Structures are given as structure tokens and as C-alpha cells.
Amino acid sequence: MSTTLTEREKRGTRARETYSSSLTAWIIKILGLGAVDAMAVLGALTAASKGAWLIMAGFLLIALAATLIYLPPNRLLPGKYLFPGLVFLLIFTVGAMIYTVWVGFTNYGDGHNGSKKDAIASIIKQNQARVPNTPTHPAAVAEKDGKLWLVVVDEKAQEVKAGTTDTPAAKVEGAEMNSLGAVKALPGYRILQFAEISKRSQDVSALQVPLTDKPEDGYYRTTTGSQAFVYNSTIKYDSAKDTFTDPQGVVYTDNGKGNFATADGKTIDPGWRVSVGVDNFTSIFTNKDIRSPFIAVTLWTFAFAILSVFSTFVLGLFLALVLNDPKMTGQKVYRTLLILPYAFPAFLSALIFAGLFNQEFGFINEVLLRGADIPWLNDPFWSKLALLLTNLWLGYPYMFLVATGALQSIPEDILEAAKVDGASPWKTFMSIKLPLLMVPLAPLLISSFAFNFNNFTLVFLLTRGWPQFTDTSLNVGHTDILISMVYKLAGLDGSARHDYGLASAFSILIFILVGVVSYLGFRQTKSLEDVN
């Protein structure tokens, strides 16, 4: 009887433990799903406030999918493992691709960064003058929430107003006035003293507080921090007609291309983002200022990628063949030494080679070439050769490793049969080893081509694309490849030009080119497999 009770107690204990464990797991699941859904809903609300309805729908779909996949127990098990990866794939890869394609069909760039509403407000701000015969308002500069506020005493309305550059002036209560009629204290605000205003004079002068939520109604501005004046735009905006009129009476209308323009094409900056269709793509091929460097850079990009793959493969395969003899003394040591360049970060090697190739003090000119004066980084031909030599140093260890592994997979009996048949080493290599090696190595060569086609790090750190082209206004050089050209067009190198629409159009072309080359290469790989 006691034994039976003991077994029942054990079963009960196990049941309670199982229930407790499942309950804990269930609570953790509910809390985790709640957190994910809450973040998704927050993202959806933020997107909705910006008018990004597709992004809002995406957040809601993520929340719904997460709930349907993870809430039911022991169902949709594969989806529970695939869902996180798919979400990150959609956001960081597919989403980035879609955004790039969208930008490629817009005029997004210098002077076209925001919305039409932002452009109108900016034009009004940039063309201001003090309104004649307007009163001088006692004022103070205050700080709240890390922002500067202009506090203005409107004596005519007998009220105190406060606002920032982004917040129109609004009535505030509880202000304490000094003997001069200016505000000396305001609840929730810290009034700046004269010494602080002097230190931040530029920020104070930049304060432009809208009188209302309509920019055309004017702004409060101050230069001293103790007096404010009403400023208004010298170029008048008519919201009913959607036009600007300058002091000379010239009318600027929306030209449909993201600018206010006159009948003869004169525009006011800034503009705003609009869709321009395929204009960015047609500019690449029709605008001489863009077409000429584009053709030159494209040809060099293909040459750089092809020559890099070819040279690294030939050298890597040669060294793999030489060191493939198991009877060689110190074989492991040699192999270790040969892959050392692969162990160093590429950006460090590029910087080191930039010093080695220095025309006046570099080790290559001064020591190896006994005081030669070769302009490695200042001449189009020598700069390209320097890039190829540096990439050869960086790339051959990878080819050496994969070729060594592929050589060791070739059956010895095939090689022995060729030797018995009297085939020479060269004939054996060309007719047996190389065809068998190309089957596993061809996909790696294709991936190496794609990598070198976009080898931004080496180009930017070694030559920065220099020397510059002299027949274009673009900041592009002889050693630029397409990806570094895109980087410069986007203004990410610190240049004055920022043309994100054109840069995105180039990115789309790069994707198409690499995709086509990869497709053709994989077709050839399939042919090699069929032959073998």
C-alpha cells in the first residue's frame, strides 16, 4: 500500500512540476508577444503620424503574424524558427532595396530634401526683413527641455508669448516682470542672463519664432536677447494660388518638378522631393557631364574585377600546386606563411600599402626600386596598377586555400592513370586537374568577382578614386569603381554635392550588372558540371 502511495506521490510531483514549467513558459511567451506587439503598434502609430501608410501596414502585419505563429502551442513549429530571420530579411534587405529603388525615381538630393510644406517655410525664412513701423517688443531668451525659447511681451495685446523656431508663439501664464517691462521669471522656463546670451549669440540670432502656424504671417526675431521685432518675408506666398511673388512682381509657380519657378525657368531654392520618373536613369546616358565618367568608371570596374579575380586565382592556384606535394619539407610552415595576408584586416593593409606606394618616401620607390620616382598614386595608369597589386596581395591567400582544398579532393587513381598513359604534367593539369577544379571553384570565382566589383574599402582607402577626371564637374576619378562613384554622388565623402536620387539610380544599375554577370557565370558552372 505504501509503495502505491509513493508512486502516486511521484506522479503527482511530476505533474505539478510539468504544470508549473508549462505555466512559466506560457507566461514568458505572453509577455514576450506582448512586448513585440506593443513595439509593432508603436511603430505603426509613428508611421501613421508621418503618413507612411505602407510602413504602418507592415508593422501591423508583423504583430499579427507573430501572434498567430507563436501563440498556439505546438503548431506552426517551422515558422517559429523562420519568422525572426524573415522579419530581419524583409526590414534590412528587402526594405532597403525597395527604398533605394523608390529614391532612384525621385529628385531627392541638394535642395530637394523635404516636403513642399517644408520648402515653403524655408523660402519664407530665407527672405526676411523687419516689417516697417512695427513696435519693439520687450523680450527675454529662456531655456526649456534643452531648447532656446524666445519670450515676447506683446504690450498691445497685454500678454506674454513664448515659442521656438519649431513652435509658434503662444500665450503663457505666470510671468514676472521687471521694472523695464521685460520678463524676469517664467514658471517652467529658465531665463538666460546677459552673459549666457553673449556666449550663445549665434543661437539667439538664429531664433525665428513663427507668429502663427502659417509661416507667411511672420516671425519674432531678436539680436540682443532683450528686444524682439516682427520680421516678414520679402517674397510673398499666396496659399490660394500656390505662388510666390518677389518684390519686383515676378511670380513663381509650382513647375511640377519640385521647385517654384518663373515662366523662363528661374527657380527659388530650396525645392522639395517629387517623383521624376526615369529622369535619373536617362541623365546617366544623355548628360555628357555624367555619361563620360560613367562609361570610364564602368569599364574600369569590370577590368578591375576581372583582373583581380584572374591574378589572384592564377597566383593562388600556382602556389597550391607547388605546395601540394606531401613530401615537401616544411609544407605546413609555408602554407601558414602564405595565408598571413588573409589574417590581416583589409583596411589596415590598404593604409599600409598607401604608405608603401608614396612617391617620395615610400618603401617601394626608395628601397625596392632604388630611388625611383614612380607616381603610384598620382597617375591614372600607375594608380590602377597599384590597386591591382595591392588586391593581389590581399586576395591570393583566399584562392590558395580553396585551390588547395579542391586539389586534395581529386582522386589519385585518375592522376595515376594519366601518368601511366604518358601524359605530361602540363597535359595532366590542363585536361584533368583544371576541369575538375573549375567545378567547385567556379561559384567561388563568381562570388569573388561580385566582391571585387564592389570593393569599396580598397579603392577608397588606397587611392580615394584619384586622380580626378578633368572633363567633368563630378567628384569622380580614374580609379573610382561604380560603388565609390555612388558614394561620392551621395556626398558621403564630404563633398558639396548630395544627389541621392542619382546615386540610387547608379545602385540599381550596379545590382542589375552584378546580377546578369552572376547569372551567366552560374549557367557556365552548370555546363561544367554537366560535362564532368
Residues 104-144: tens digit of each pLDDT: 999 999 999 999 999 998 999 889 899 888 889 999 999 99
> Per-residue pLDDT averaged across 12-38, rounded?
75
Q: Given this model, what pLDDT does residue 116 score? A: 94
pLDDT higher than threshold 60 for residue 2: no
> Using only C-alpha atoms, what is the Rg of the chain?
35
List the single range of 5-14, 90-99, 517-526 with lowest mean pLDDT. 5-14
Question: What angle do the packed helices 346-356 and 380-408 form, to 10 degrees?
Answer: 140
List the single range of 75-84, 142-151, 317-326 with lowest mean pLDDT. 75-84
Q: How far apart are the first and last CA of the chain?
A: 75
Q: State the alpha helices, DSSP H only, in 175-255.
A: 194-199, 201-205
> Per-residue pLDDT averaged across 71-85, rounded?
82
Q: In the beta sheet, which residues pair with residue 295?
A: none
Q: Which residues contact 13 (CB under 8 A, 6 or more apart)?
A: none
Question: Amino acid identity of 27?
Answer: I
Which secondary-structure segment (H or E) carries 36?
A: helix 2-49
How many C-beta neighbours within 10 Å does residue 37 have? 17
Q: Give which of 346, 345, 367 is closest to 356, Cα–Cα.
A: 367
Q: Given this model, what pLDDT does residue 484 score? A: 96
Task: Using a pLDDT cut of 90, give the percent of the chain over it.
Answer: 69
Compute the distance between CA of residue 101 and CA of residue 39 in angstroms, rounded to an integer. Answer: 27
Q: Residue 27 corresponds to which cell in the numbers above?
A: 507566461
The secondary structure of 258-299 as a DSSP string is: SSEE-TTS-EES-----B-TTHHHHHHHH-HHHHHHHHHHHH
Residues 154-193: tens digit of each pLDDT: 988 889 999 999 999 999 999 999 887 889 999 999 999 9
Are the C-beta atoms of residues 377 and 464 closer than 8 Å to each other?
A: no
Q: Give which of 391, 370, 508, 398 is closest to 456, Cα–Cα.
A: 391
Q: Which residues contact 122 (CB under 8 A, 6 or more apart)?
A: 114, 270
> Per-residue pLDDT averaged across 270-276, rounded?
95
Compute the distance between CA of residue 438 and CA of residue 69 in angstroms, rounded to an integer. Answer: 44
At 17, is the pLDDT very low, low, confident or very high (cuts 50, 70, 90)?
Answer: low
The secondary structure of 443-455 as a DSSP string is: HHHHHHHHHHHT-
Q: Given this model, what pLDDT does residue 469 score? A: 94
Question: Amino acid identity of 167?
Answer: T
Q: Residue 134 corresponds to which cell in the numbers above?
A: 512695427
> Per-residue pLDDT averaged across 396-417, rounded?
92
Q: Given this model, what pLDDT does residue 357 score? A: 96
Q: Given this model, what pLDDT does residue 215 score? A: 85
pLDDT higher than threshold 80 for residue 25: no
Are the C-beta atoms of residues 382 and 376 closer than 8 Å to each other?
A: yes
Burial class (CB in 10 A: 0-12, 13-18, 19+), 193: exposed
Classify 251 as helix, strand or coil: strand
Residues 368-394: tens digit of each pLDDT: 999 999 999 999 999 999 999 999 999
> Per-residue pLDDT averaged across 201-207, rounded?
92
> Per-residue pLDDT averaged across 72-98, rounded?
86
> Per-residue pLDDT averaged across 348-357, rounded?
95
Q: Given this model, what pLDDT does residue 100 score? A: 95
Q: Given this model, what pLDDT does residue 531 score? A: 55
Q: State the alpha helices, DSSP H only, in 157-232.
A: 194-199, 201-205
Residues 490-524: tens digit of each pLDDT: 998 888 789 999 999 999 999 999 999 989 888 87
Question: Amino acid identity of 52?
Answer: A
Compute the distance between CA of residue 177 and CA of residue 249 in angstroms, rounded to an integer. Answer: 44
3-state secondary structure 105-148: CECCECCECCCHHHHHHHHHHHCEEECCCCCCEEEEEEEECCEE
Q: Given this model, what pLDDT does residue 532 score? A: 57
Q: Residue 15 corresponds to which cell in the numbers above?
A: 505533474
Rounded mean pLDDT of the chain? 90
> Per-residue pLDDT averaged across 334-355, rounded?
92
Q: Given this model, what pLDDT does residue 211 score? A: 93
List the single range of 76-80, 245-249, 306-310 with lowest mean pLDDT. 76-80
Residues 409-462: tens digit of each pLDDT: 898 899 899 989 899 989 999 999 998 999 889 999 999 999 999 999 999 999
pLDDT higher than threshold 70 for residue 362: yes
Q: Given this model, what pLDDT does residue 1 score? A: 45
Q: Which residues contact 173 (CB under 8 A, 6 or more apart)?
A: 187
Number of H helices, E strands in the chain: 20, 16
pLDDT higher than threshold 90 for residue 295: yes
